[in-house]
Amino acid sequence: MILRRLRELGVLGINGRNASFVLPHNPRHAFPEVDDKIRTKALCQRAGVAVPHQLGVLRYHHELRDLETLIGERDAFVLKPARGSQGKGVAVVRGRRDGRFVVGGRAEMGFDDLRYHAAEILSGLFSLGGQPDEVLIEECLQVHPELADLSGSGVPDVRILIYRGVPVMAMMRLPTRRSGGRANLHQGAVGVGVHLASGRSERALWRRSWISHHPDTEKPIVGAVVPEFPTLLEMSVRAAAQTELQYLGVDLVVDAQRGPLVLELNARPGLSIQLANARGLLPRLRAVERSCRPQAEADDWAFCQLQGGLDALCRPPRAASPLVRGDLLDSSARPAHRETRRRSPRRCGVAPCRWPRWPRRCWAAGWPAPSRAARPSFPATACATRPRSCRCRAARRCGCGCAKTPRCSAS
C-alpha cells in the first residue's frame, strides 16, 4: 500500500533514477569530469562560470610539507577531497585561536592535525571507491547578508536539479552546529524546499522532522527568499551544458562579495530533494520529456524559458501537500478508480480440501498445470487427507500432498 501511494505521488526511487535517467542519459565516460572537483572547476572556468578561488592542490604525500606554505597567514580556508561525496572529509576552517585552527566553529586543530587529515584524504579514506585522492584547498566563502540569520555556523548552498537543460527542482541546504558548518543533509544540515518560479522557501526538513525555524539561530525559515535566484538558475543551466550529462545536480552558493558561484556538479544527485519539497520528481521529469527538445538544442537559456519548461513546472504550490498532511498511510485518500479487489484464491473443488488458500500446492485446482507425464494418477477424493508421517520423496512429488499417492509405499 505504501509503495502504491508513493507511485501515485510521483516519488522517484533509487532504482528508477538509475534505470530511467542516470544510465540512459549520463554516459559513463563523462562521470570523471563531475566526480573530480578539480576538473569540474576547470570546466566551469572555461565556460565563464564563476567558481571559488583555488589556493592549492596536494597530489602526493611528500607534498604535505608544503601545506603550511600554501595556507600562509590565512585564517579561513576549506580543505576537501577532490573526489569525495556527502560532505565527508571536508574541513571548514573559520579562524585561529591560540595558534590552532578552529574547524566547524567548535573543534580545534593544529598544523600536525591538519597535515594528518590531508594524509587521510590522499590515502582515499573519503573518496569514491576508496581510491587514492587529491587534496583541494579553496578560499572560505562569506555568508550573504540576506542569509545571515539562517547560516548557523557555515555558508548555505543551493542544489538545483537539471534534466535536459531545464531546472526541475531546487532546495537550499542550511548548515548547523550538528553538521560542523557543512551544508550537507547527511551530516545534519537543514533541507529547505525552494519554489522555482519565485525562489521562496516553502518548507524545511531537519532530521526527518518538519521545522519552521532554524535549530541554531531560531529564525524563521519558511518564506525566506534565496538572493539572486534567477542568476543561480541561469548559471546551473550553463554549467550543465558544458558536460555530456543530461540528468545532474548543480551545487551553488551566493557569496557576500563575489555573488553566485558554482561549487560542484553531481552525476548521481540524491533523492532527498523530494523530501525537502514534499513533491515527487517523476511528474516533472516526464513533463520535461514531453515538452523539451534534445540537449543540443536546449543550450540557450532563453530557449529553455520560451519553451515553457519552467512555466509548466513552477505552478503555485498547494495549500497542503499530501506528504505534509500525512495521507501517505491513509487508504481512504486513494482515488476510487484505483481501488482493486483482491483476487479470491482458487479452490480445487474437493471438500474437505486441505489446501484452500494455497492453490499452487493442489494439482486438483489446475494451478499450475503440469504435464500429463508428471501428474500422478489418483482420485480427487484422495485430497481429503494430508500425510503426517510419510516424508518420502514420492509424497513430495504429489501436488495436493495427499496420503494416497500410488507411488508412496508407506501409505
Of 59-68, 102-111, 295-304, 391-400, where does the model show the most confidence? 59-68
Residue 121's pLDDT band (cuts 50, 70, 90): very high
The reported pLDDT for the residue numbered 106 is: 66
Residue 70's pLDDT band (cuts 50, 70, 90): confident
What are all long-range contacts of 390-394, with beta carbons under 8 Å and residues at least 24 apart? none
> What CATH number should be reported for the domain whose range is 53-140?
3.30.1490
> Does pLDDT of 313 surpass 70?
no
Enter the C-alpha cell of residue 14: 533509487
Overall pTM > 0.75: no
The reported pLDDT for the residue numbered 138 is: 92
Residues of the chain above pLDDT 70, percent: 70
Residue 166's pLDDT band (cuts 50, 70, 90): very high
The reported pLDDT for the residue numbered 105 is: 61
The reported pLDDT for the residue numbered 84 is: 86
368 or 189, which is more confident: 189
The CATH-assigned architecture of domain 2-30+142-318 is 2-Layer Sandwich (3.30)
CA 189/CA 206 separation, integer angstroms: 7
Q: What is the pLDDT of residues 261-301, one digit of tens each?
A: 999 999 999 899 999 999 999 999 999 988 765 444 444 44
CA 41/CA 56 separation, integer angstroms: 13
CA 376/CA 217 separation, integer angstroms: 77
**What residues pair up with 13 in beta bridges, in sequence order?**
none
**Same fold across 2-30+142-318 and 53-140:** no
Residue 376's pLDDT band (cuts 50, 70, 90): very low
The reported pLDDT for the residue numbered 290 is: 85
| Segment holding 109, helix H or strand E | strand 107-109
Number of alpha carbons in the 13 Å side-chain half-sphere of residue 392: 13
Residue 259's pLDDT band (cuts 50, 70, 90): very high
The reported pLDDT for the residue numbered 245 is: 94
The whole-chain average pLDDT of the chain stands at 76
142 or 180, which is more confident: 142
Ranges of each domain in the chain: 2-30+142-318, 53-140, 348-411
> Does pLDDT of 409 surpass 90?
no
171 or 299, which is more confident: 171
221 or 399, which is more confident: 221
The reported pLDDT for the residue numbered 149 is: 86
> Does pLDDT of 83 surpass 80?
yes
What are the Cα distances from residue 374, in Å, to 125, 360, 398? 58, 15, 10
Contact assessment for residue 169 and residue 279, using Cβ atoms and an 8 Å cutoff: yes
Nearest to 38 by CA among 61, 59, 63, 69: 59
> Does pLDDT of 74 surpass 70?
yes
Region of poorest pLDDT, from 8-12, 150-154, 238-242, 375-379 = 375-379
> Does pLDDT of 404 surpass 70?
no
Region of poorest pLDDT, from 28-32, 35-39, 178-182, 196-200 = 178-182
Per DSSP, the three-state class of 209 is: strand
The reported pLDDT for the residue numbered 190 is: 92
> Does pLDDT of 311 surpass 70?
no
> Does pLDDT of 59 surpass 90?
yes
251 or 380, which is more confident: 251
The reported pLDDT for the residue numbered 293 is: 52
> Does pLDDT of 405 surpass 90?
no
Q: What is the pLDDT of residues 201-227, one digit of tens each?
A: 999 999 888 999 998 888 999 999 999
Enter the C-alpha cell of residue 156: 548555505
Residues of the chain above pLDDT 90, percent: 43
Q: What is the pLDDT of residues 342-372, one digit of tens each?
A: 344 444 444 444 444 444 444 444 444 444 4
Region of poorest pLDDT, from 26-30, 47-51, 333-337 = 333-337
> Does pLDDT of 341 surpass 90?
no
CA 391/CA 166 separation, integer angstroms: 65
